Structure formats: structure tokens, C-alpha cells
Amino acid sequence: MGRVLIIGAGGVGAVVAFKCASVPEVFTDILLASRTKEKCDSIANFIGNNKIKTAQIDADNVDDLVGLIKQFNPDIVINVALPYQDLTIMEACLATKTNYLDTANYEPRDVAKFEYKWQWAYQQRFKEAGILAVLGCGFDPGVTGVFTAYAKKHYFDEIHYLDIVDCNAGSHGKAFATNFNPEINIREITQNGKYWENGQWVETKPMEIHRPVEYPNIGQRESYLLYHEELESLTKNFPTLKRARFWMTFGEKYINVLNVLQEIGMTSIKPILYEGHEIVPLQFLKAILPEPASLGEGYKGQTSIGCQIKGIQNGKERTYYVWNNCNHEVVYKECRAQAVSYTTGVPAMTGAMMVLTNQWTGTGVMNVEEFNPEPFMEKLNEYGLPWNEEIDEQLPIEK
């Protein structure tokens, strides 16, 4: 039905490749390309049966990307490299009139700031080229936006309060590691927090606000208010929201180590001179931390990510909680991955499937909550991320 080019062969890229290869009736030809070709080859060997072709690519280089896209001629490019590459890959998609999908919004290398403005600026050009860019199609952002659209469609006339809750109660046994790209992850959580309230953003110090939240099948975990990119698109696409917040759990040890790293300057993105070379401390730190793709073996426990929503329908107040729990060990058995890569890779594959099967259509640059949530929610159940819902019960965030 369609040809897919996957860019990025890290933890998430491995899951996207594995999952696409398991649906050959949709993904007829698959090319996995990344900076280090050996990593693509290792993933392709694991999947076997010559289902995946591989290539080397520097996704910072538009000309190289255009060359690769012209050669392979994909119907869609799934970008699961790093947010720094979003704009170069979008440019190459424009030049070749190819659909685009990613899981994280653009951020410039030298400022730890993610915002949709750079990618939303492509709206007109994508429309004129007659192609579609699906932005933020991992779990959060991604499934959390689809969950919110599904809630609105079925249970609410107006959504007023949204709390996205993200818990990883797993244990990988390492002293310190991040579950997705360490550089991007640490940039995200060391920024100031921010949430939406009464028509404006309220800023907090990093991890300043926290509280225990109860997670299904896991129990209570301390959860920290962070700014997360889907808050930007969801507050725009659901303008009735009076408040929107994002919470993520961190263990005490993780926070202690992170504090030390911050205090000694290891998380800084300002270049320093080291033995005559300029190095960025955070990039050096990334180089010595475990790669997310290597964490799967022996990872125990599960994740739970969901949306807790309050609003009105027919003039009556309602509540809705929708979530997925994903087990690290089960995921490892299936595809040698850990649950954070898996919960990102499955939605990316599913979003591409929605485009290739014409269930998500249109031109321009769109966030996932702008599409019909129904077929996507169905496929989540089918491809390894079953979801649960609770209607009109007290929300855990309010207990």
C-alpha cells in the first residue's frame, strides 16, 4: 500500500521498523536510514527476512536527504531522529512532495526551547505542495492528543480541565539513565515548568510543583509538573480549556543525580574549551550515559500514561480518565525494546498507517488531535498499546 522511509535508528526507530515490518500489507517497502548505518543493519538483522533496507544519512543535510528520498521514493517519511533534524527533513519532504510524520517538535541546538512555531510556519508551503505533515505522533505528544480528541468526541461538549499524567514505574537497574535520547530528555526536564490557566501560561521553577498521584496497577508515585509540547497545540485546538497541565514521575535517586549533574555544570548546553576543543557538557554527558535502545534487557515494571479530563456535556459536569499501561518485560520479549521506546514507536507506525490508508487525510501541517481519533484508537488496541477508560469517577489527580 505504501513505501516508508524511517529516519533514526535509536530506541524509537528500532520499534518503528519492527512494527512496520509486521504489517507488510500496509508498509510494502521499508528503508531505515540513520547517521550510523551499522545501527540500521543491526535492527534489520534482528527483524530478519530482508524486510528492511538500510542506508546511511546525515539528516542535518537537506541535499543528502533529497537525494535519498528521490532514490527510494517513499510515500511517507517517519522522522524519529532528533528534534534538531525536524526542519531539514521537512524541507526535503517539501522538495520531493513527500508526506512527513514526527514525534517531537523542533528545537534549536543552542537554546533549550521547544515550540511549534517553527514547524507551524510550514503550513502554507505544505498545503501548496499538496502534502501532509503529522506533528507529534509518539505517546506524549501523540496518543495524549488523540485521547483528548476522543474524549471530546464522545463525552464532552466542552473540555475544561486536562491533566496528562506520565508514570514510568520501571526499573532498569542502571545507576542513571534516561529512557529516550539523554540530551533531549535532560534539556526538557531542566527547563522551567509551565501550565495553562485561565487563558495564560503560568511559569514555575524546574520541578517546583509536585504531588503524589495514583496510577493504575502501579500505586502512588510522586509526580512533577513539567512543560510538555502537546500543551501548546492542545490549548490552541481545545480553546475551552481553563487549565492544562502535564505531570511526570521521577524517582528520588534520579532527581538527586540530576541535581548533582546540574550543580556541577554537566547539563549545560554552553560550549566550553576542553584541551583546545569546544565541547558541550550535555553532549559529553550523553556520550557516557547508556543509550535508550540498550536499556530493554532486564528492565522490569511498567509505564502508565493517560489523560484525566473534566468538562461538561449537556450542561452536566463529567470526568473521564483514559490511559495505557505498558510492561517493559513484555515489550522486550516482543521486540528487544523498552516501554518508553515502544510507547513512542507504536503510535508513530500507527500514524503513518493512518496516512497510507487514507484515514488521516488533508494537506498542510497538523497535530494529531486534529484528525479522527477513532481508527487510531482501534489500531492502538491491535498493535500493542491497549487503553482503558473510566467515566464519571473521581479523577486520581483530584484525590
CB of residue 179 vs ligand NDP: minimum separation in angstroms?
7
Tell me how far, at minimum, the Cβ of 385 lies from ligand NDP, in Å. Answer: 11
292 binds ligand NDP (CB under 6 A): yes
207 binds ligand NDP (CB under 6 A): no
Residue 64 has a CB neighbour count (10 Å cut-off) of 16
User: Coil, helix or strand for 258?
Assistant: helix
Minimum distance from CB of 295 to ligand NDP (Å)?
A: 10
Binding of residue 103 to ligand NDP (CB under 6 A): yes
CA distance 306 to 241: 17
Pick from 104, 129, 282, 353: which binds ligand NDP (CB under 6 A)?
104
DSSP string for 33-73: EESSHHHHHHHHHHH-TT-EEEEE--TT-HHHHHHHHHHH-
Sign of the alpha-carbon dihedral angle for 118, 119, 125, 128:
negative
Q: Give yes or no for residue 66 binding ligand NDP (CB under 6 A).
A: no
Instruction: State which residue has the least CB distance to ligand NDP.
Output: 10
Q: Which 3 state secondary structure label does DSSP give 371?
A: coil
Residue 139 makes contact with ligand NDP by CB under 6 A: yes
Q: Candidates 17-25, 154-162, 220-228, 285-293 — which segment interacts with ligand NDP by CB under 6 A?
A: 285-293
For 347, residues 6+ apart whose C-beta sits below 8 A from its C-beta are 103, 137, 138, 139, 142, 143, 146, 376, 380, 385
Query: With respect to ligand NDP, which residue has the nearer C-beta, 218 or 293?
Result: 293
170 scored as a contact of ligand NDP (CB under 6 A): no
Q: Binding to ligand NDP by residue 351, rule CB under 6 A?
A: no
The DSSP symbol for 82 reads -
Work out the number of other CB atoms within 10 angstroms of the CB of residue 70: 12
- Tell me the closest approach of the beta carbon of residue 181 to ligand NDP, in angstroms: 4
Residue of the chain from 4, 80, 207, 261 that contacts ligand NDP (CB under 6 A): 80
Q: Which stretch binds ligand NDP (CB under 6 A): 51-59, 66-74, 212-220, 306-314?
A: 51-59
Q: CB under 6 A: which stretch of 44-52, 154-162, 193-201, 340-348 binds ligand NDP?
A: 340-348
CB of 38 to ligand NDP, least distance (A): 9
74 near ligand NDP (CB under 6 A): no
Residue 83 as a binder of ligand NDP (CB under 6 A): the answer is yes
Q: How far is the CB of 313 from ligand NDP (least distance, A)?
A: 29
Stretch that binds ligand NDP, among 133-141, 196-204, 263-271, 311-319 (CB under 6 A): 133-141
Of the residues 39, 172, 187, 379, which one makes contact with ligand NDP according to CB under 6 A:
39
By beta-carbon proximity to ligand NDP, the closer residue of 303 and 319 is 303
The reply on whether position 311 binds ligand NDP by CB under 6 A is: no
For 166-229, give the secondary structure using H, E and C: EEECCECCCCCCCCCCHHHHHHHHCCCEEEEECCEEEEECCCCCEEEEEECCCEEEEEEEECCC
Contacts of 28 (CB under 8 A, 6+ apart): 1, 2, 3
Amino acid at 220: Q
Q: How many CB atoms lie within 10 A of CB 160?
A: 16
Residue type, 38: E
Q: How many other CB atoms are found less than 10 A from the CB of residue 313? A: 14
* Interface mask toward ligand NDP for 3-32; x: CB under 6 A: -----xxxxxx-------------------
What is d(CA 54, CA 5) in angstroms, rounded to the nearest whole number? 10
Give the residue among 345, 335, 350 at the shortest CA–CA distance from 297. 335
> In the set 4, 21, 82, 94, which binds ligand NDP (CB under 6 A)?
82
The reply on whether position 181 binds ligand NDP by CB under 6 A is yes
How far apart CA 20 and CA 348 sit, in angstroms, is 10
Q: Which residues contact 285 (CB under 8 A, 6 or more apart)?
A: 182, 183, 186, 261, 266, 267
Residues that bind ligand NDP (CB under 6 A): 8-13, 34-36, 39, 57-60, 80-83, 85, 103-104, 138-142, 180-181, 184, 291-293, 340-341, 344
